[in-house]
Structure 1
Amino acid sequence: MSTKTNGVIHNNNYASIPDLIAKKRDGHELNPDEIEQFISGLTNGDVQDCHVGAMLMAIFIRGMSEKEICSMTMSMRDSGERLKWPNYRGSVVDKHSTGGIGDKISIPLAPALAACQFKVPMMAGRGLGITGGTLDKLESIPGYKTQLSDEQIVELISTVGCGIFSQSLKLNPADRYLYAIRDVTATVPHNALIVSSILSKKSIEDLDALVLDVKYGVSAFMKTAEQAESLAEWLHKVSEMLGMRTCCYITEMNNPIGFCIGNAIEIEESLDLMKYKVGHSKDLEELVCEQVQTIEEGREMIRETFKNGTALEKFHDMIIGQGASKTIADQLLSNDETVVGAILKLAPIQHKALAPQSGFIQSMDSFKLGTIVQRLGGGRLKSTDKIDFSVGIRLLKHIGDEIKENEAWAILYTNDDASTRYSLFLDELHTAICISSTPVAPLQRIHKILL
């Protein structure tokens, strides 16, 4: 039985929602039943937007214990339907990244894992701020559908072995609601809220193992290695409490991953790795091959799927299973760059960025590069913006490479060069590189691994 006072619905068996907010505001721990009451209220109408904002700010200021985070994660997970894989126990795996510039690791990794006989139900996200989204990149493939029914997901995983899709309306509605409010209440960067959001989504997938890539740097949510390590430790602890085997990588995100930044252009780079083409990004390859839990054996298994073409075959079948035509999928497998380019349709106008001096590349500012692509239309400035898949940046050099004065180090792909704003983008691009007069060691991406 419930009653309504002052416009607020109360369950007579529990404290009121304002009472729960006050309890957390005053620094007390919420018990599992209270957390369940609040989360279930998101979907049944007991909790209003003002309540959510107040509770999020109370959590942001007061924090949460491990027990609270675990309870919140489970309540969010159970707010909707869950995937189940009883026939594939021991082989259901996934990977999640906290986001970065040029981070297309999931795109070749999912089919590579499927080629190794794993099942990969990868629930991915869209771009957030300047960080590109895996789903946005995949939608640059004509016909590719990210929104699948539960039945379609089961069919795809059963037949192909992998799928990269969005969170459906039936899966974890509490997280969608909470995240939307976090985004407008300045409560996104908090470990308790980040952990519960990530792990509630991943625990829906009924995984046997999960790899988490926690990034730090100028273009990451965590700015320092210490902040990233703290988040990774929380993710690891709560994963263990949930009974989910998890490995956390802490990786550098001051510099972009690979050679390409954008949507269609990152699909092209992912294909180059899966084809194991001469000149493919070794930076990308190493990160993809490292992100397995049995390091030595797993690394070589993943690399072999690129060399023998089985990862590429799985990618071909996956995109057909998610809506692309067989003709499109066949053409993307071509080694003819013209054929692939005609499908992905990169922006036609190219601007070269030239080195201001000779030397060795010390760094490339991933924040500046990501911002340029976002403002060109490759990312969203507001949630309703439509993505321009065609724009992007292709890097011709990477950290540690030698470069000559006036030598091109990057190409900017745009659809229009008549506007003065493109001159501003080029000016910004030129300032994104730092050149040293002395040799620079190759970039070390992985800072630490928590097993």
Structure 2
Amino acid sequence: MDVIEIIRAKRDGGKLTPEQIDWVIGAYTRGEVAEEQMAALAMAIFLRGMDRAEVSRWTEAMLSSGDRLDFSDLARPTTDKHSTGGVGDKITLPLTPTVAACGAAVPQLSGRGLGHTGGTLDKLESIPGWRASLSTEEMRQVITDTGGVICAAGSGLAPADRKLYALRDVTGTVESIPLIAASIMSKKLAEGTAALVLDVKVGSGAFMKDADSARELARTMVDIGNDHGVRTVALLTDMATPLGRQVGNALEVAEAVEVLSGGGPADVVELTVALAREMLIATGLTPGENGVKDPAEALRDGSALQAWKDLIRAQGGDPDAPLPEAAERRVVLAPADGVLTRLDAYQVGLAAWRLGAGRARKEDAVSFGAGVTLHAKPGEAVKTGEPLFTLHADEPERFDRAALALEGAFDIEDAAVWKAEPLLIDRVS
């Protein structure tokens, strides 16, 4: 194979053969294709795209570059969820134990935050003693004992994707839908789950800003999953406004526990229940029938909360320990009377990042207590001089830049101006 020939073929709008895809992914992973050559091919794909067969084969090649987990021998059917990322998106925390409490097994491999979007592992590591890194044997034991596990992906899963993602990040090719879809799905398929539900975010705080792009990404990933024998469905959900009322690591854990205790913000509860039902149905379990508990009932009756505590303990954490709190707080007051009609998710996420909740580079540490508390959500009345946001940070010098990010992040208008937008936008199967 000749890498120059492959680059030229895609540059000129041609279709890559399965043999070309297998070779270039394998050679790049082994270091036989130079970084600048792979960067050129990634840009050609960014500009020319790939069809369904190409994307499916590209995903398979990245999947084959490493290990695959196999949980087919578990007594429970396996199912997983992947979110494309957002602000205040703590859904994995209440979702995994809720689905486990309803009878399915959830092998949830999660990641860390970068930039304005939070990472599930960063949130959970705010719990004293909790461990993100587990061996395959430990993962299997936790799932067997509790019905779910949330942990970091091992270095042996889809190593080609890890290498290619870093390259895309510095070459302006992150936004390619075929490459995004293959990146996500190669890692998810490596988990060995039988069913997968995708939460594709849409809006200012999401990677996909408009519904058409999100729908295209969802369709591509659903096709990849089904082409590889994994029952896959996607929900398009709103990320113009942050999820819940807490944005930040320990803040979001506390809010997730509120949901698991039968309370919490309505939007977090709605999305948790919707995704949990989809995950169960994808495994062949019908909520409310044949003894299968409905997720809403699991949140009400305490079984989801118990599953959470079991899961946290199984990974070394203390679910009853106090969570970290930031050393400093500053309150931002509402500048006018009226109804909050807009709250920009990206700007809130940026504020939380500036407060220390996120990282600019993968090696950066995060502040577990940092973040933003939202005292009002769109549709709610506010009054001049009352709290609109509470900012949490360990260093007070962070407050000014965080407050600057929130300038222009919201609108306060007459009640008649506000119109509720649905949280669930579409379903792709």
TM-score (ref. length: structure 1): 0.89
Residue of structure 1 equivalent to 2:155: 169
Residue of structure 2 equivalent to 1:308: 301
Matched, 1:258 2:244: yes
Sort the Cα spacing of 1:405 and 1:298 in 2 relative to 1 into closer, same or farther, 3 A. farther
Residue of structure 1 equivalent to 2:425: 447
- Within a 5 Å distance, the mapping from 1:252-331 to structure 2 comes to 252-277=238-263, 280-291=264-275, 292-293=277-278, 294=281, 298=287, 301-324=294-317, 328-329=318-319, 331=320
Amino acid at match of 1:86: S
Distance in 2, Cα, partners of 1:443 & 1:408: 24
Residue of structure 2 equivalent to 1:395: 374
Percent identity, aligned pairs only, is 37
Deviation at 1:66, TM superposition (A): 0.5
Residue of structure 1 equivalent to 2:360: 381
Amino acid at match of 1:382: R
Distance in 1, Cα, partners of 2:98 & 2:220: 28
Unaligned runs of 5+ residues in structure 1 are 1-14, 333-342
Deviation at 1:297, TM superposition (A): 5.8
Distance in 2, Cα, partners of 1:127 & 1:433: 24
Alignment length, in residue pairs?
419
Distance in 1, Cα, partners of 2:175 & 2:205: 13
Does structure 2 conserve the Cα–Cα contact (< 8 Å) formed by 1:258 and 1:283? Answer: yes
Distance in 1, Cα, partners of 2:148 & 2:20: 37
Does structure 2 conserve the Cα–Cα contact (< 8 Å) formed by 1:120 and 1:157? Answer: yes
Deviation at 1:401, TM superposition (A): 0.9
Distance in 2, Cα, partners of 1:427 & 1:63: 38
Matched, 1:235 2:214: no
Residue of structure 1 equivalent to 2:83: 97
Residue of structure 2 equivalent to 1:3: none
Match of 1:136 among 106, 122, 126: 122
Residue of structure 2 equivalent to 1:350: 329
Does structure 2 conserve the Cα–Cα contact (< 8 Å) formed by 1:90 and 1:208? Answer: no
Does structure 1 conserve the Cα–Cα contact (< 8 Å) formed by 2:391 and 2:399? Answer: no
Larger Rg over CA atoms:
1
Amino acid at match of 1:303: A
CA deviations 1:379-430 (Å, max 9, x no partner) are 111222111111011112211111222221221112233x3x5234224335
Amino acid at match of 2:423: R
Amino acid at match of 1:135: L
Distance in 2, Cα, partners of 1:238 & 1:44: 25
Match of 1:109 among 95, 108, 124: 95
Unaligned runs of 5+ residues in structure 2 are none
Does structure 2 conserve the Cα–Cα contact (< 8 Å) formed by 1:399 and 1:443? Answer: no
Residue of structure 2 equivalent to 1:245: 231
The DSSP-based 3-state class of the residue aligned with 2:415 is coil
CA deviations 1:80-102 (Å, max 9, x no partner) are 11111232377100001110000
CA deviations 1:127-177 (Å, max 9, x no partner) are 132111111111111222212111111111122111111110111111111
Deviation at 1:22, TM superposition (A): 2.1
CA deviations 1:181-206 (Å, max 9, x no partner) are 11111111111001101111111122
The DSSP-based 3-state class of the residue aligned with 1:258 is coil
The DSSP-based 3-state class of the residue aligned with 1:413 is strand
Sort the Cα spacing of 1:86 and 1:233 in 2 relative to 1 into closer, same or farther, 3 A. closer
Distance in 2, Cα, partners of 1:38 & 1:190: 18
Amino acid at match of 2:352: V
Deviation at 1:268, TM superposition (A): 0.6
* Higher mean displacement: 234-243 or 197-206: 234-243
Matched, 1:437 2:414: yes
Matched, 1:196 2:182: yes
- Within a 5 Å distance, the mapping from 1:179-194 to structure 2 comes to 179-194=165-180
Distance in 2, Cα, partners of 1:442 & 1:180: 38
Matched, 1:368 2:352: no
Deviation at 1:39, TM superposition (A): 1.4
